[in-house]
Amino acid sequence: MMPHQSIAPRPRAIERGLLNVNLTYMFDVLVRLLPALGLTIALSITALLIATPIGLLLGSFRASSSSSGIIARLLDIYIFFVRGTPILVQIFIVYFVLPALGVKLALFWMGVLALVFNSVGYQIEIGRAAVQSVAKVQWEASRALGFDDRSTLFRFIMPQAARRMVGPVMNELSQLIKASSVLSIITLFELHKSAESIISADFRFVEVLVVEGFLYFLFIYTLSFFAVRLERRLSSSDGLVEQR
């Protein structure tokens, strides 16, 4: 299936200065878009749930002493690639390369895969920073008690690192929700694509776009609001005395 090139062409005759806004219509559009919003959320959360543990694992690997091994360099190249190219390009790669390798995935999972691919590139850094921020004294205390490095990592360091990741990970979820809109280009009927198709039918650009924007904004803003509160709650019960 070919991803289409552009949305409906702009109509020639556009009412100048008159914003024809019909609130009933907008409410109707809002209700029609709710399933698509659900898909957007499903895509984003699924991708997050997969990418975050990977990020934490690879991040703690990156933070540990083997920082110049070959795997570390490979990770660096991967991160450089993911951060240096648009997500659209990454989506196209998944979209074109996978079938060429004979892998058949449902569109939803292709979308999730592309999002995971992208998100891990950022979450490795989040995980690494979180692990490194867990005070050195924790390592020392654990080793002094006789735990080996691997146990130390999994038993003590990672749980604390996970706590510190909450803020950045919530932010990453916001990023994923925004990134999921790009999946509209491979005709995945998430929020943006559905809004687009409503526009193609009714041509009421401003009203539909406002509703769509409102839905995105509502979600992302609420998310960041709770993220801040959650982070505050978690950091206050951290137990670590901050040394300034």
Residues 48, 118: Cα–Cα separation, whole Å: 11
Is residue 5 involved in binding other proteins (CB under 8 A)?
yes
Is residue 216 involved in binding other proteins (CB under 8 A)?
yes
Residues 55, 50: Cα–Cα separation, whole Å: 9
Phi-psi group of 60: left, alpha or beta (phi > 0 → left; psi -120 to 50 → alpha; rest → beta): alpha
Which is closer to other proteins, CB of 27 or CB of 80?
A: 80
- Three state DSSP letters for 15-64: CCCCCCCCHHHHHHHHHHHHHHHHHHHHHHHHHHHHHHHHHHHHHHHHHC
- Contacting range for other proteins; rule: CB under 8 A; set: 3-11, 28-36, 124-132, 141-149: 3-11
Is residue 45 involved in binding other proteins (CB under 8 A)?
no
Is residue 69 involved in binding other proteins (CB under 8 A)?
no
Select the residue interacting with other proteins from 26, 45, 79, 185 (CB under 8 A). Answer: 185
Is residue 78 involved in binding other proteins (CB under 8 A)?
no
Is residue 93 involved in binding other proteins (CB under 8 A)?
yes
Among candidates 27, 22, 16, which has minimal Cα distance to 204?
22
Interaction residues for other proteins, span 7-26 (CB under 8 A): 7, 10, 14-20
Select the residue interacting with other proteins from 184, 186, 188, 198 (CB under 8 A). Answer: 184
Residues 217, 220: Cα–Cα separation, whole Å: 5
Select the residue interacting with other proteins from 110, 124, 182, 198 (CB under 8 A). Answer: 182
Cβ-proximal residues to 82 (8 Å cutoff; 6+ apart), any chain: 90, 117, 118, 120, 121, 122
Q: Is 150 helix (H, G, I), strand (E, B) or coil?
A: helix
Which is closer to other proteins, CB of 157 or CB of 196?
A: 196
Q: How far is the CB of 87 from other proteins (least distance, A)?
A: 7
Provide the total of helices (H) and of strands (E) in the chain, helices listed first: 9, 0
- Interface residues toward other proteins, by CB under 8 A: 2-3, 5-7, 10, 14-20, 80-81, 83-89, 92-93, 96-97, 100, 174, 177-182, 184-185, 192, 196, 199, 205-206, 209-210, 212-213, 216-217, 220-221, 224
